[in-house]
Amino acid sequence: MYGELIIAINMVFNFAVLSFANKTGNLQAARGRLWFASFAGALPVTLFSSSFISMIISFLLMTFCAFGKALAVWRKAVGIVLVGALFSGGLLTVYSSQTFPMPAYLSVFLSALIAFISLSIFKGKWLDVRVAKQMDDFACMSTLRIWKQDIRIQVFIDTGNSCTEPMTGAPVHFVSYRAVKQMIPRDLIGPLEQWNPKKLANVSSFPAEYQKGIRLIRLTTVQGVSWAIGFKYEWWRLDDGDQLQPGYLVLTKEDNRYPDGADAILHVSAMESISKERGTAHVV
């Protein structure tokens, strides 16, 4: 009975660690595969508990069974499994089935609970850091050329922004009115501030010299349908990438929801202008 208890405790602990690595590393291994790897890793350390070599064999066998289809994926997983094992293993030292006698099933449950809670907290912090890193990847400085001026502006690429100009299909970006107000020609400010987004107004209220580069953009949100003015820009270049596709920008007064302190929300097509590659590892 004691041997089965040790195997169960090690198996549950292994599964918690492997699940942590699977989630944080976005490795996408099947749950059944993780359980099999957890059992395979629990056997050597139970049969040869005093052997350091058995611990190494157990670790290699467990990680290979879980993530060993590709060398690159396995190498990535090993580092995350080590971090998870060291973190949760340190917390498990506060509990011992000998120090706190209890039935076998309660001992297994408590061990699993400690490992699960500790790794869940750690996983949340890890994912928060990863999300923050992704946010940084999507945010950068840029130079916008419009109204015969070069404007330096902080931008954020929003993968949820797929708004396009209806006639040409050109991408539409959203720019904070506050951020660029000082650069807007004076004869455009009056018509812009008088614009009623709930009505399909005539662009003739704008100066004739700018009308050629103006388009009406229909916006559909949870608040309903509204109309915005799209200004065609000459070019727009990201500092860490290439030049954006030709398109239009819409000036917005409500910019409090712009993420990462950005002054502009770019169309999803701007992802193609980022020079560095991104990839995700998968276990098959």
Q: How far apart are CA 284 and CA 185, in angstroms?
A: 57
0.75 exceeded by the pTM?
no
Q: Which residues of the chain have pLDDT under 50?
A: 94, 97, 131-132, 135-136, 275-284
DSSP-H helix ranges across the chain: 2-24, 31-47, 52-67, 71-92, 104-138, 177-180, 186-194, 208-211
Q: What is the pLDDT of residue 259?
A: 75
Q: What is the pLDDT of residue 278?
A: 43
Question: For residue 278, which amino acid is it?
Answer: R
Q: What is the pLDDT of residue 205?
A: 85
- The burial class, CB within 10 Å (0-12 / 13-18 / 19+), for 229 is buried
Q: How far apart are CA 168 and CA 266, in angstroms?
A: 17
Q: What is the pLDDT of residue 277?
A: 41
Q: What is the pLDDT of residue 49?
A: 66
Q: How far apart are CA 131 and CA 281, in angstroms?
A: 17
